[in-house]
């Protein structure tokens, strides 16, 4: 299923911050705390989708270069199905996809990535944010990097 393999243009640090800020606001304050952000940032669905990929792929051990459904691992298959559904949703209806993708990321973090050092999901999301920001800064500070 080659259509499942996304373009891997690295997210810019600003995109990581916007997406993670949305996730944290939703996790800590619910839907009312993120109302209006979607209209102000139509790119948010695709930023959240990329964050979902960056979170799900390493945990599900999905190789970005391989056929995403070739590995018989159950977690790999679940990751494949989840990312495929989120991609379809983001492509077909980016505005309504934003809260759904965000909630899917939060559920994935709560259910699949329990972090003993971060008992609170918001702490785990902040740790993921810091890790993604480190990567984004490293990639975008290299001469000739994607801008």
Those residues with Cβ within 8 angstroms of residue 61's Cβ, 6 or more apart along the chain or in another chain: 71, 73, 75, 76
Cα separation, 47 vs 86, whole angstroms? 12
Q: What share of the chain has pLDDT > 70, as a percent?
A: 69
| pLDDT 10s digits, 53-103 | 888 877 776 555 555 455 456 777 778 888 899 999 888 888 788 888 999
- Does the pLDDT of residue 49 top 60, yes or no? yes
Query: Which has more pLDDT, 140 or 39?
Result: 140
The conformation of residue 30, written as its DSSP 8-state character, comes to -
Model's pTM, two decimal places? 0.73
pLDDT band of 5, cuts 50, 70, 90: very low
Q: What share of the chain has pLDDT > 90, as a percent?
A: 14
pLDDT band of 14, cuts 50, 70, 90: very high
The pLDDT of residue 93 is: 86
CB atoms within 10 A of CB 17: 16
Alpha helices, DSSP H, located in 30-61: 37-40, 44-60
Which tokens is 91 given?
């492509």
């Amino acid at each position: 299923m080659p259509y499942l393999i996304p373009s891997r243009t690295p997210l810019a640090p600003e995109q990581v911050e916007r997406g993670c800020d949305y996730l944290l606001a939703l996790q800590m304050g619910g839907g009312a705390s993120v109302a209006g952000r979607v209209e102000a940032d139509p790119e948010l669905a695709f930023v959240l989708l990329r964050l979902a990929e960056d979170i799900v792929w390493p945990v599900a051990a999905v190789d970005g270069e391989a056929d995403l459904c070739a590995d018989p691992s159950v977690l790999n298959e679940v990751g494949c199905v989840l990312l495929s559904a989120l991609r379809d949703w983001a492509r077909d209806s980016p505005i309504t996809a934003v809260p759904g993708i965000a909630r899917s990321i939060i559920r994935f973090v709560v259910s699949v990535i329990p972090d003993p050092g971060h008992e609170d999901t918001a702490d785990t999301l902040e740790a993921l944010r810091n890790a993604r920001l480190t990567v984004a800064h490293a990639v975008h500070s290299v001469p000739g990097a994607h801008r």
